[in-house]
Structure 1
Amino acid sequence: MSLADQLKSAADSGQLLPASLENINALLAASDNPVYRASIEELAAAGQWAELNDRFFQALKFGTGGLRGRTVARIVTKAERGAAAEDQRPEHPCVGTNAMNYYNVGRATRGLVAYIKTYRANAGLGGKPSIVFAHDTRHFSAEFAQRCAQIAMDHGADVYLFDGCRATPEMSFAVRQLRTDAGVMLTASHNPSHDNGYKVNFNDGAGIVEPHATGIIKEVNAITDENYTPLPESERGKLTTLGDDMDQQYLARVETMMLQPQLLDKPEAKKLKIVFTALHGTGGVLVPVL
């Protein structure tokens, strides 16, 4: 029985939701990524309809906070596992329209760049759009950030990409310091470890608000195909890597926020003992320096 027949039979019997069937077909039509089809075929053959419904009952919604969803599946397929061992992170993120994966972060980035271009044109601004990309230590965060950076450049945006994991406040600072149009943080904040997210800040370094939120969401929802044709090389954006220099600028700014810096000069200050844990987060990059 073909995959199409399996899916139709499951939908007819009520095991597969109509929305799930529609979204599965939409994803397969939108991409030629072999991992997508192989994962769906494996789950269908095993009768894992609940898992397929979890992955496909809706398209992951881009809201005012960006995206957030599962990036390591509850049931990891062989195609997703790839060459990774059972106790390692899968080689590929969770396949599904309701998951945090390359398909959805790609749509989000293309929609964001499209909105920024419209915003700049309406404001009479010349030059290319510019975006800061940063990521935390979650599964696939670094890969998502790199993929998003490439997509943004392919669509004509200049990109500032941190050379490693950073905390969200430093991304926000970099947006204001570099006067970029937006910043993106690949993180899921306090969510469970199997989740990830795509958080967008606008040119003020703060989370997106109206009318930007609705405008970005509209552009993202209009994109259904994973494949795209990059702009001619002369029209693409350039990449700038952010590292220690931006860290030092950020730390210098943090120091100006101290309410009573003179207290650090007192003898008692040198006797203070401070316990810190990054809780698997990015605070371990700069907090020891502070």
Structure 2
Amino acid sequence: MDYKKVYEEWLNNDFFDSETRKELESIKGNEEEIQDRFYQSLEFGTAGLRGKIGAGTNRMNQYTVAEATQGLATTILARGKEAAEKGVAIAYDVRHFSKEFAEITASVLAANGIKVYLSDDIRPTPVLSYAIRHFKTISGVMVTASHNPREYNGYKAYWKEGSQILDDIADEILDNIGKIKNYSEIKNMDLQEAIDKGLVVYFGEELDNLYIKDMLSLTINDEEVDKDIKIVYSPLNGTGNKLVRRILKEREFNNIYIVKEQESPDPDFTTVGYPNPEDPKAFKYSIELGKEVGADILIATDPDADRTAVEVRDKNGEYVFLNGNKIGALLINYILSERHRKNNLPENSVVVKSIVTGDLGTRIAEKYNVEMIETLTGFKNVSGKANEYDITGEKTFLFGFEESIGYNYGTFVRDKDAVNSAMMIAEMAGFYKKQGKTLLDILEELFNTYGVYNERLISITLEGLDGQARIKRIMDEFRREAIKEIGNIKLDKTIDYLVDDTGMPKSNVLKYYFDDNSWYALRPSGTEPKIKVYIYSVGKTKEDSEEKLDIIEKATRGRIDSIK
């Protein structure tokens, strides 16, 4: 793509609105900025679109959103009149332009004769997944950039099962986007006209009620739970506030404290900056409130309320952050042990995790004769197993999780679900509190039983064209030659998910196992300009496992830094 030529076309073409052209006028002469905005089109993949908001082909704006939607519309129409009548469910989060992008999506779909169910307000991502299944639509769109910084927005595409699209549908949509020669070819209809014609209808509280009812049905223990446990909750200025608070209230938890500074929607995430509860810094306000009220646990959800993070008060009154692997292991242990105790654990149950998620959950599942299934990274693949078992009936999907603080218990939703997870975490913590234990005590018991499993995630941001090229060189070099030995541990096995026969679709991930069951993996992010290194260790003691993490990190970082 000749980025200068495309920039000039946008700048001088009356088709683009005056605000867009004014924004482009302001960067005239800024070669680096022009290149970044126009050197490529924002790529549509299984994660949909995600990028910075602004004018340009490599940005989230009304034109790139409309283009993606026309590609989706063409894909739906290829499946016939019935698919168009089934329609598309659309929801959106609190970010800048989320509502506008959702309405543009609705208008383009309606112009193509496709029915739309449009959320009447901000809603969590899992509710969008639930809406697809409830309305039996062919597809769905969630306008969100999840936990990305405030400058970003995104567009997640879903299919009829309620999970995000896989490669086959993404490739078809991408192919249809490629057939659009210019933006003037995209169909559009005034939103009010679409509403008047019955092509766009709103959904809201009635659907929320059904969703909450189904989530409540997943309760395992109630009377055995200490409902007076003190919980601080922060929605991080996102979409989780109403439904997380509601479900905890309906479960009759009596001591829920909301972080007031982060209660209301704020597209600038003023109090947190980077609104990712996977980062312990996001808990600053929660810790302050927690110490003030003597909270047992702190729960935070990300802006679109599909991810959940937890901190637990220790014996010294300090709060300890639990990452996704630890929360996942605790939930697996609670769900399996309690359903086993109640004798309602299906014989063919499975737990599903991604290939970059830790193995403690696997050891726990083995104890209860529950199979652990691995999938590629992305909850679309985790939920894909639930979709598969709907058809085959061979297994029962019980719980799915990823290390990136995403979990889902049950099958009502086919995506990560922070509302469901917040309820289960509160139930679990209250259950153990009634026994005089904290989640930290339970984790220690698991380590005593299975060994000390530890982990570390390294994210290296490499932006722009040069960054993309360097990420490719890093992956190429590690493919060419693996690190054979680190300290006293030796390389035992390598899996290259791009070329090896794993029974999974091909993916640009490398995984290296050592002879003590420690391992690390390299994976370029699918949604951010990053390469991620996932490091896992197993030790007899905490110190032993930490030492292994340190030496693996040192070796991998050293190798990456040497690749310029």
Q: Same fold (TM over 0.5)?
A: yes
Assess if the C-alpha contact under 8 Å between 1:152 and 1:237 holds in 2. Answer: no
CA distance in 2, matches of 1:229, 1:206: 26
Q: Which residue of 2 aligns with 1:78?
A: none
- The amino acid of 1:256's aligned partner reads S
1:41 aligns with 2:30: no
Match of 1:132, SS?
strand
The CA deviation at 1:66 is 0.2
Between the two proteins, the alignment pairs up a number of residues equal to 241
Q: Which residue of 2 aligns with 1:52?
A: 34
Assess if the C-alpha contact under 8 Å between 1:30 and 1:225 holds in 2. Answer: no
Alignment of 1:231-250 (within 5 A): 238-250=199-211
1:110 aligns with 2:67: no
Over residues 102-150 of structure 1, what are the superposed CA-to-partner deviations in whole Å (9 max), with x where a residue is unaligned? 01100011110110111246xxx46625011100101111111112111
Assess if the C-alpha contact under 8 Å between 1:117 and 1:129 holds in 2. Answer: no
Match of 1:275, SS?
strand
Assess if the C-alpha contact under 8 Å between 2:45 and 2:167 holds in 1. Answer: no
Q: Which residue of 2 aligns with 1:100?
A: 60
CA distance in 1, matches of 2:23, 2:94: 26
1:63 aligns with 2:23: no
CA distance in 1, matches of 2:216, 2:128: 17
The CA deviation at 1:39 is 2.6
Match of 2:167, SS?
coil
Q: Which residue of 2 aligns with 1:256?
A: 217
- The amino acid of 1:35's aligned partner reads E
- The amino acid of 2:96's aligned partner reads H
- The amino acid of 2:78's aligned partner reads T
The CA deviation at 1:25 is 4.2
Q: Which residue of 1 aligns with 2:135?
A: 178
The CA deviation at 1:29 is 5.2
CA RMSD between the two structures: 2.3
CA distance in 2, matches of 1:230, 1:68: 22
Which range moves more in the overlay, 190-199 or 222-231? 222-231
1:168 aligns with 2:125: yes
CA distance in 1, matches of 2:62, 2:51: 12
Assess if the C-alpha contact under 8 Å between 2:94 and 2:122 holds in 1. Answer: yes
- CA separation of 1:276/1:24 partners in 2, compared to 1, >3 Å: closer, same or farther? same
Q: Which residue of 2 aligns with 1:79?
A: none
Q: Which residue of 2 aligns with 1:90?
A: none
- The amino acid of 2:128's aligned partner reads M
CA distance in 1, matches of 2:101, 2:211: 24
Alignment of 1:152-167 (within 5 A): 152-167=109-124
Unpaired segments of 5 or more residues in structure 1?
1-17, 72-93
Q: Which of 1 and 2 has greater Rg?
A: 2
- What is the TM-score normalised by the length of structure 1? 0.76
Assess if the C-alpha contact under 8 Å between 1:30 and 1:224 holds in 2. Answer: no
CA distance in 2, matches of 1:190, 1:238: 32
- CA separation of 1:178/1:34 partners in 2, compared to 1, >3 Å: closer, same or farther? same
The CA deviation at 1:221 is 2.3
Unpaired segments of 5 or more residues in structure 2?
248-564
Match of 2:113, SS?
coil
CA distance in 1, matches of 2:27, 2:109: 33
Assess if the C-alpha contact under 8 Å between 1:107 and 1:224 holds in 2. Answer: no
- CA separation of 1:159/1:30 partners in 2, compared to 1, >3 Å: closer, same or farther? farther
CA distance in 2, matches of 1:248, 1:67: 30
CA distance in 1, matches of 2:57, 2:3: 9
Identity of aligned residues (%): 34
Match of 1:289, SS?
helix
- The amino acid of 1:22's aligned partner reads K
Higher relative CO (Cα under 8 Å, sequence separation at least 6) belongs to 1
- CA separation of 1:262/1:182 partners in 2, compared to 1, >3 Å: closer, same or farther? farther
- CA separation of 1:69/1:237 partners in 2, compared to 1, >3 Å: closer, same or farther? farther
- What is the TM-score normalised by the length of structure 2? 0.40
- The amino acid of 2:134's aligned partner reads Q
Which range moves more in the overlay, 197-206 or 53-62? 53-62
1:189 aligns with 2:150: no
Q: Find the partner of 2:157 among 200, 205, 208.
A: 200
Match of 1:51, SS?
helix
Assess if the C-alpha contact under 8 Å between 2:109 and 2:115 holds in 1. Answer: yes
